[in-house]
């Protein structure tokens, strides 16, 4: 029995992992999130362009999302194979640094310009997006014009949001409400709760409900409509512009201490803020580029909501308070 089991396992492992023979050239391993390396994501093009310049092999390892990426690094600790972690957001940076796995890049990263002039000695931004309520123009004629209007609006017009315990957009909304309402956040959540159709574990489920017409509003990004305009040629889905301003998600990458080839890792980080990389971002990752692109962005991007004000909490503050704020959210949301 034991040997049968083992041989089946061995066969299974061999069948699904018939890895190609390793080439003898240098490799750079980049941990990132799954949608970055999907057929539709930036990954394939980034790989092709970078490999032309580096005489190396770029090896992507994809996990579910930014949070899973950090968890994966914590699990692997010092023995990680990663040279670069790409896809954490600024809310996670303090926790990422606390692992002691990352090393300051020591590069001039001034090419990367994001709202609020965020900069860091360890992590370099590669794209950003403002969170926004995206709505279906066929279902909603008068979208909320502020967070206050969203909170206090007609409870019959529902929104799907993400769970801050399991997703980065969910955490983004939590921090946005906190930024605007401060100590009054629990009251705001208690009101908003009546408008919330459902809280999903991640962005995919919420956006799926939205595009199915199940819910007229969803918590997403100001850049989401660009996808529909560019790929589906429709103006139907739009982001609502909020007068208080929008919370931002800045996606960053950093170099790991254990990387075998620091020069190669730095070369990648530099490449990341060059036009060759940045050109790919808008229409594959559907986020705003963090540095200059060689061509102007597609027209659709000019039609997107341009937030008047950007909210961003320091990552130390987020790390310190996240648990307490999530508890606050849980209490407010589970009141009957």
Partner 1 sequence: MLTRAERRRGIGWGLLSLTGIALFVGVAIVALLSWDAGNAQSRLFTPYTWRILRFTLLQAVLSTLLSVLFALPVALALARRPSFPGRLWIVRLMALPMGLPVLIGALGLIGIWGRQGVMNSLLLKLGLEQPVSIYGLSGILLAHVFFNLPLAARLLLAALERLPAEYWLLSSSLGMKPFSVFRFIEWPAARHVIPGIAGLIFMLCATSFTLVLVLGGGPAATTLEVAIYQSLRFDFDPPRAIALSLLQIGITALILIAISLLPAPDDAGITAGRATRRFDGRTLPARLWDVLAILLATTFLILPLASIVGAGVQANLWSLVNSPAFLRAAWTSFTIALSAGLLAVLTSLAIIAGRGAIADMKRPGGTARAFSVSLGGTSSLVLLVPPVVLGTGWFLMLRPFGDVARFAPALVAIINMLMALPFAMRVLAPAVETHRKRTARLSASLGLSGFSRAWRIDLPVLAKPLLTALSFAMALSLGDLGAVALFGSSDLTTLPWLVYSRLSSYRANDADGLALILGIICLGLTMIGTTGQREAKHG
**Which residues, 37 to 56, sit near partner 1 by CB under 8 A?**
37-41
Q: Is 4 in the site for partner 1 (CB under 8 A)?
A: yes
Query: Position of tokens 């929008």?
Result: 246
- Which one among 103, 152, 205, 261 touches partner 1, defined by CB under 8 A? 205
Q: Which residues in the chain belong to E strands, given as ranges?
A: 26-33, 56-63, 84-89, 102-103, 123-136, 159-162, 196-200, 217-221, 237-240, 246-256, 288-289, 310-311
How far, in Å, CA of 326 to CA of 336, rounded? 18
**Which residues, 130 to 169, sit near partner 1 by CB under 8 A?**
158, 163, 165-166
Looking at 12-20, 271-279, 289-297, 303-311, which segment touches partner 1 (CB under 8 A)? 12-20
CB-wise, 109 or 221, nearer to partner 1?
A: 221
User: In terms of C-beta distances under 8 Å and separation of at least 24 residues, what long-range contacts does 320-328 make, across chains too?
Assistant: 322/171, 325/174, 325/175, 325/178, 325/185, 326/164, 326/165, 326/174, 328/185, 328/186, 328/189
- Which one among 196, 276, 297, 313 touches partner 1, defined by CB under 8 A? 196
**Which residues, 49 to 108, sit near partner 1 by CB under 8 A?**
60-65, 67-68, 70-71, 74-77, 79, 81
- Which one among 207, 247, 268, 311 touches partner 1, defined by CB under 8 A? 207
Token pair for 183 = 């100590």
**Which residues, 214 to 233, sit near partner 1 by CB under 8 A?**
214-215, 224, 227, 231
Query: Position of tokens 């254990």?
Result: 258
Q: Is 21 in the site for partner 1 (CB under 8 A)?
A: no
Q: Is 12 in the site for partner 1 (CB under 8 A)?
A: yes
By C-alpha distance, which of 249, 32, 254 is closest to 121? Answer: 254
CB-wise, 168 or 241, nearer to partner 1?
A: 168
Total residues contacting partner 1 (rule CB under 8 A)?
Answer: 71
């Amino acid at each position: 029995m034991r040997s049968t089991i083992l041989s089946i396992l061995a066969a299974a492992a061999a069948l699904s992992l018939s890895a190609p023979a390793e080439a003898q050239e240098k490799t750079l391993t980049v941990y990132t999130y799954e949608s970055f390396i999907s057929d539709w994501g930036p990954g394939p093009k980034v790989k092709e362009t970078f490999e032309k310049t580096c005489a190396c092999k770029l090896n992507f390892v994809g996990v579910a999302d930014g949070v899973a990426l950090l968890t994966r690094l914590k699990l692997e600790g010092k023995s990680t194979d990663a040279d670069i972690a790409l896809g954490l957001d600024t809310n996670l940076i303090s926790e990422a640094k606390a692992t002691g796995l990352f090393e300051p890049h020591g590069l001039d990263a001034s090419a990367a310009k994001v709202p609020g002039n965020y900069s860091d000695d360890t992590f370099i931004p590669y794209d950003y997006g403002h969170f926004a309520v995206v709505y279906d123009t066929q279902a909603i004629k008068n979208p909320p014009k502020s967070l206050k209007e969203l909170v206090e609006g007609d409870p019959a017009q529902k929104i799907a949001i993400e769970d801050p315990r399991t997703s980065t957009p969910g955490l983004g909304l939590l921090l946005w409400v906190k930024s605007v309402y401060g100590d009054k956040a629990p009251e705001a959540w208690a009101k908003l709760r009546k408008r919330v159709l459902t809280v999903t574990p991640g962005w995919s489920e919420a956006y799926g409900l939205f595009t199915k017409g199940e819910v007229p509003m969803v918590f997403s990004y100001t850049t989401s409509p660009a996808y529909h305009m560019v790929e589906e040629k429709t103006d139907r889905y739009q982001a609502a512009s909020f007068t208080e301003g929008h919370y931002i998600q800045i996606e960053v990458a950093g170099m790991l201490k254990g990387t075998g080839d620091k020069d190669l890792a730095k070369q990648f980080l530099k490449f990341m803020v060059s036009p060759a990389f940045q050109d790919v971002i808008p229409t594959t990752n559907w986020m705003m580029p963090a540095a200059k692109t060689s061509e102007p962005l597609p027209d659709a991007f000019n039609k997107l909501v341009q937030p008047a004000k950007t909210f961003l909490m320091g990552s130390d503050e987020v790390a310190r308070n996240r648990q307490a704020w999530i508890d606050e959210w849980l209490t407010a949301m589970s009141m009957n």
